[in-house]
């Protein structure tokens, strides 16, 4: 099930844009992981959004708050769920959705980066138990 920790550059996205990002990221990650479009399957798709404090984002050692609308993701997924094609499709969708949500009206360059952390079997604890891929597949009703 998708678990995404999202870090945004300061002031790049307002609350409405953050909500649209969360929805679009959930959709893209669930599509990549073959999670069906059912509320009971997607309720475990989690997006945690943090925004950097003003003055804490730099590019080339220069303050870049006003220059970049950045979306940086750590995506945790069970090993074996994503093949290369799914990862590539997600990367393309990530950039497209970030550009669409950012609107580009403030002149910031939209930058995305996603590190995909594949969690080995037996290494994911959830709600007091070790969750294994076959069990998670049953919960999610993977397609």
- H helices present in the chain, as ranges: 15-32, 39-42, 84-102, 133-140
Q: What are the DSSP calls for 76-88, one per residue?
A: EEETTS--HHHHH
Please choose, from the candidates 85, 70, 80, the residue with its C-alpha nearest in 3D space to the C-alpha of residue 118. Answer: 80
Contacts of 69 (CB under 8 A, 6+ apart): 9, 12, 13, 98, 102, 106, 108, 109, 110, 111
pLDDT of residue 143: 54
What band does 104 get if pLDDT is binned at 50, 70 and 90? confident
pLDDT of residue 50: 98
Q: State what percent of residues in the chain have pLDDT above 70.
A: 92
Q: What's the helix, strand, coil split of the chain in %, to 5?
A: 35, 30, 35
Q: Higher model confidence: residue 44 or residue 48?
A: 48
Checking if the pLDDT of 140 tops 80, the result is: no
Contact call for residues 79 and 33 (beta carbons, < 8 A): no
Checking if the pLDDT of 38 tops 80, the result is: yes
CA 89 to mean position of chain CA atoms: 13
- Average pLDDT over all residues of the chain: 91
10-31 confidence digits (pLDDT tens): 999 999 999 999 999 999 999 9
pLDDT of residue 27: 95
Q: Higher model confidence: residue 140 or residue 86?
A: 86
Q: What is the pTM of this model?
A: 0.89
pLDDT of residue 139: 58
Joined together, the tokens standing for residue 64 give 């870049």
């Amino acid at each position: 099930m998708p678990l995404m920790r999202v870090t945004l550059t300061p002031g790049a996205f307002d609350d409405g844009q953050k909500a649209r990002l969360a929805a679009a990221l959930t959709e893209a990650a669930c599509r990549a992981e073959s999670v069906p479009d059912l509320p009971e399957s997607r309720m475990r798709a989690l997006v945690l959004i943090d925004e950097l404090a003003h003055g804490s984002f730099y590019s080339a050692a220069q303050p870049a708050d006003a220059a970049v609308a950045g979306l940086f993701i750590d995506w945790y997924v069970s090993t074996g769920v994503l093949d290369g094609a799914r990862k590539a499709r997600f990367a393309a969708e990530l950039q497209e959705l970030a550009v669409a949500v950012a609107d580009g009206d403030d002149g910031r360059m939209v930058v995305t980066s996603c590190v995909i952390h594949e969690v080995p079997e037996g290494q994911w604890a959830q709600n007091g138990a070790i969750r294994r891929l076959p069990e998670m597949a049953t919960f999610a009703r993977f397609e």
